[in-house]
Structures are given as structure tokens and as C-alpha cells.
Amino acid sequence: AQSVTQLDSQVPVFEEAPVELRCNYSSSVSVYLFWYVQYPNQGLQLLLKYLSGSTLVKGINGFEAEFNKSQTSFHLRKPSVHISDTAEYFCAVRRTDSWGKFQFGAGTQVVVTP
Amino acid sequence: NAGVTQTPKFQVLKTGQSMTLQCAQDMNHEYMSWYRQDPGMGLRLIHYSVGAGITDQGEVPNGYNVSRSTTEDFPLRLLSAAPSQTSVYFCASSYSPTEAFFGQGTRLTVV
């Protein structure tokens, strides 16, 4: 079984400041890792994913994430946020050997203020 | 290419009523799934299907039924709605473990 823990339920941040959203996971099998964003009253949009290879993954809208196998973490970062980055962010894992379910974290609400 | 289409976008039901949430995809994906999203709990899997005629339960299946008669459609049925089923429902489809396409969601309120 897999589990995902997003360590912060809410992250307030000022515009143009950096932000880091923390995600830890546990799994007894190999998994792929994902970050999704949900803007208010919208569906889920893929920000980035780690499949293999380089542990630093770059995604859309200036986001990046680093996979750390030893710490079983996949933290998301952005060096300078905009008001439009206000949204909920979900970390998720999925087994590599099947079309199995996504296991999502509880989500982190990012609120960007001027 | 419409992707994953969910209807309706919003719905209000009375306790005990039944309804079907529709999900259709035009990408010929074998794998489809339903999730519900509740505050502080992320998304939880309700039911999934790995192809036409094959369905299975996820993490929170109670109170929901599904069937998969075609590759394109994967409806979710609430037989007797309860206030605990007030949630946002997402349908997703995949062709591999590395990809998933989510619908825009159905916001359901049961009063």
C-alpha cells in the first residue's frame, strides 16, 4: 500500500516570494510521483511528474520538484510566486507496475497575497 | 478532442434520491476511475475499471455503483443519496500509469 503526507495544510506567501510545498510518501513498491494543481472551482491540472532519471523535475508555470529517494520526499518549489498561483496543490503517487489508483495527499492550500 | 467530460457540473439532490453522474472520454483509454474530493482528505478512489465489462471497488465504494458497457463511458450511480455524499466528484482516464486525464468535476450537494 502507498500513503502520501503533505506536511502543510495551508501556506500563506507574499507575491514574488519563494514557496515550498512538502510531500513525503511511503510505498513498498516502485511508484511514480505527481503534483497536481486545482484552481478555485476547477478540475485538476498536472504540474509535473517524476518517472525516472534526473531527480530534479521541471513543470509548468515555473514550478519544479525534487525527488529524494532516501527521504522518500517529493517537495515542490517555485522561486517567485504570483497572485495567480493561489490554488490547492496535491501530491500523488501511483504504482509503476499497473494502472492502479492514485494515492493523493490531503492537499496544501497556497494563498498568495500582495 | 474533448478529453474527459463530466456531466452535470453541479447538482443538488434530496436525501434518498438517486442519480447518475456521467463520465465520457474520447481517447480510447482502457482505465477509468472515479474519485471524490472532500476538504482535508484529498481525493479518494470510489470505483475503477480496467476495460469494458470490468469494474472494481476502490477505497470508498459504499453507496455507489458503476458499470462499464463501453470503453468511452463510465457512469457513477448513487442509489439513495445521503448528506455524507456531498462532495466534488472527479472522473479520470488513463492509458498508462504515467498519465492521467481528469474531468472538470461534478459538485454534488445532498440536502
Contact A43 B103 (CB under 8 A): yes
**What residue in A sits closest to B103 (Cα-Cα)?**
A43
* Span B39-66, pLDDT tens digits: 889 999 999 999 999 999 999 999 999 9
Given CB atoms, is A49 within the 8 Å cutoff of chain B?
Answer: yes
Do A59 and A65 contact (CB within 8 A), yes or no? yes
Q: Which residues pair with A109 in a beta bridge?
A: A10, A88
Residue B1 pLDDT level (bands cut at 50, 70, 90): low
Are B87 and B36 in contact by the 8 Å Cβ rule? The answer is yes
> Per residue in A45-100, pLDDT tens?
999 999 999 999 999 999 999 999 999 999 999 999 999 999 999 999 998 887 76
Q: Which residue has the cell 492521467?
A: B100
pLDDT band at A42 (very low <50, low <70, confident <90, very high): confident
Residue A99 has its nearest CB partner, among B31, B90, B102, at B31
B97 vs A: CB within 8 A: yes
Distance CA A33, CA A36 (A): 10
Instruction: Please say whether the beta carbons of B33 and B14 come within 8 A.
Output: no
**Angle in degrees, CA A100, A104, A108, rounded to 5:** 165
CB-nearest to A32 from B58, B90, B98 is B98
- What is the phi/psi pair of residue A53, to 5°? 85, -140
Query: Average pLDDT of chain A?
Result: 94
Q: Which residues pair with B102 in a beta bridge?
A: B92
Interface test with A, best of B21, B43, B74 (most A CBs within 10 A): B43
Angle at B99 between CA B62 and CA A70, to 5 degrees: 90
Three-state helix/strand/coil letters over B80-91? CCCHHHCEEEEE
Q: Which residue of A has its CA nearest to B40?
A: A106
Per-residue pLDDT at A96:
87
